[in-house]
Amino acid sequence: MFALVAGIYIHIPFCRKACYYCNFHFSTSFQIREEMIQAMLKEISLQAAYLKNQSIETIYFGGGTPSALPTENLQQLLEEVKTNFKVIGDAEVTLEANPDDITVESLKQWKEIGINRLSIGIQAFQDELLTNWNRSHSSAQGLSAIALAQEAGFGNITADLIYGGPGLTDEDWLSNIQRLVDSDIPHISSYALTVEPNTVLAHQIKKGTSSEPDDELANHQYEILQAKLKEAGFIQYEVSNFAKPGMESKHNKNYWTGAHYLGIGPSAHSFDGVSRQWNIANNVKYIKALESGEIPFEKEELTKTQQFNELVMTGLRTSMGIDAQRIAILGESYTSYLKSEIQYHMDQGKIVINAEGNYSLKPAYYFFADGIASDLFFVEAAPETDLS
């Protein structure tokens, strides 16, 4: 009923360097690149029926570092998608790119094969921070990448920034935001530095060679971000995402509104409205399975309670709010439960009913969205154990 369009996510599991804070699936070895591309092409063809002939509105190359691939590999994957799916003529096709991969020639090639949106991983404009995080580019390359992309005719550009990390002063943070505002790009994403398990950063903190991120500092710098981007004419349409009017990411927005999507590549996730599935996060096992004509994935059917909790989580993170109509479809008991549980936060002035009739979290409380959502989750009672 709600999924009128669909998207395809393509996970490129290669990076030239491992950023110390990153826990996404990738390898710094490109030795099996061609075998990986062939396996991904095979998966695309095997999954041709997954989206049930829905029109594809968005294609997103993520990773990893998609820009580290030769353009011919990106083109192979795009052509295979277009062969097996109904891709609309003006589909949003996003490529995540590191600044050091962005050149006049690479931009020309990406444009020629149909890439029309770039997501540039800037993260910071302080070389010391970039070095501490093991980023592969310099501050100067970050600024140059944006300018080169604009000169090449890319108007739809987003860039990432990280806040809340040790060593990032308020002065530097304001400077980072202002540099992106001055660059005149229409979209900015920003994330707090977090310590993910099994990352280099987590190991450094355990050894005492790096400091733990400060939640109070992160909250403070998040408030600075909100104020500065609002002043610059950006609309905050999701906790971490800000856009000039009409320039929101269609791909990510579809995730949050329940559109169906297919994930291609190791560790990629898919959603068809009633179930989720995720591919194995192992490059060699993924390739071997596809060579045998099998897609190595696990799958779970979503219960109504799981669907409810996801609607609450994604809804509170967006300006669209918790979709009351989608909650109602799950049943009156879920609607009643939500009305009852959410009243406390409404009385506190944190949540309001927006123009669409949805429950919407005020932007001043976005930093605490996940915690507030967890307060509202429906928890099914565990079955009683027979101790007789």
pLDDT in tens, 134-176: 999 999 999 999 999 999 999 999 999 999 999 999 999 999 9
Torsion-angle region of residue 321: left (phi > 0), alpha (psi -120 to 50) or beta? Answer: left
Identify which of 191, 198, 249 has the alpha carbon closest to the alpha carbon of residue 366: 191
Whole-number Å distance between alpha carbons of 203 and 206: 5
- Other CB atoms within 10 A of residue 233 CB: 12
Domain membership of residue 304 (yes or no) is no
Q: Which domain holds residue 131?
A: 5-256
Whole-number Å distance between alpha carbons of 323 and 149: 37
Domain boundary among 256, 282, 305: 256
Percent of the chain residues topping a pLDDT of 70 = 97
Domain membership of residue 107 (yes or no) is yes
Which pLDDT belongs to residue 4?
Answer: 61
Decide the pairing of beta strands 55-63 and 5-12: parallel
Do 45 and 192 lie in one domain? The reply is yes
DSSP codes joined into one string, 321-363? -B-HHHHHHH-HHHHHHHHHHHHHHHHTTSEEE-TTS-EEE-G
- Whether residue 352 has pLDDT greater than 90: yes
Which pLDDT belongs to residue 5?
Answer: 82
- Whether residue 379 has pLDDT greater than 90: no
pLDDT (average), residues 257-283: 96
Q: Residue 179 belongs to what H/E stretch?
A: helix 170-183
Domain membership of residue 242 (yes or no) is yes
Structural domains in the chain (count): 2
Which pLDDT belongs to residue 248?
Answer: 97
pLDDT (average), residues 330-346: 96
- Whether residue 293 has pLDDT greater than 80: yes
Q: How much is the mean pLDDT over the chain? A: 95
Do 249 and 361 lie in one domain? The reply is no
Whole-number Å distance between alpha carbons of 175 and 279: 40
pLDDT (average), residues 246-269: 95
- Whether residue 388 has pLDDT greater than 70: no
Which pLDDT belongs to residue 186?
Answer: 98
Do 134 and 251 lie in one domain? The reply is yes
Whole-number Å distance between alpha carbons of 162 and 176: 9
Query: Which pLDDT tens digit goes with each residue over 9-26?
Result: 999 999 999 999 999 999
- Whether residue 382 has pLDDT greater than 70: no
Whole-number Å distance between alpha carbons of 147 and 183: 8
- Whether residue 367 has pLDDT greater than 50: yes
Do 222 and 355 lie in one domain? The reply is no
CATH number of the domain that residue 216 is part of = 3.20.20.70
Do 223 and 346 lie in one domain? The reply is no
pLDDT band at 381 (very low <50, low <70, confident <90, very high): low
Query: Which pLDDT tens digit goes with each residue over 178-192?
Result: 999 999 999 999 999
| Helices within 232-377 (DSSP H only) | 250-256, 283-291, 304-316, 324-330, 332-347, 369-376
- Whether residue 326 has pLDDT greater than 80: yes
pLDDT (average), residues 28-50: 97
Domain boundary among 240, 256, 272: 256
- Whether residue 2 has pLDDT greater than 60: no
Do 224 and 339 lie in one domain? The reply is no
Which pLDDT belongs to residue 150?
Answer: 98
Which pLDDT belongs to residue 257?
Answer: 87
Domain membership of residue 356 (yes or no) is yes
- Whether residue 58 has pLDDT greater than 80: yes
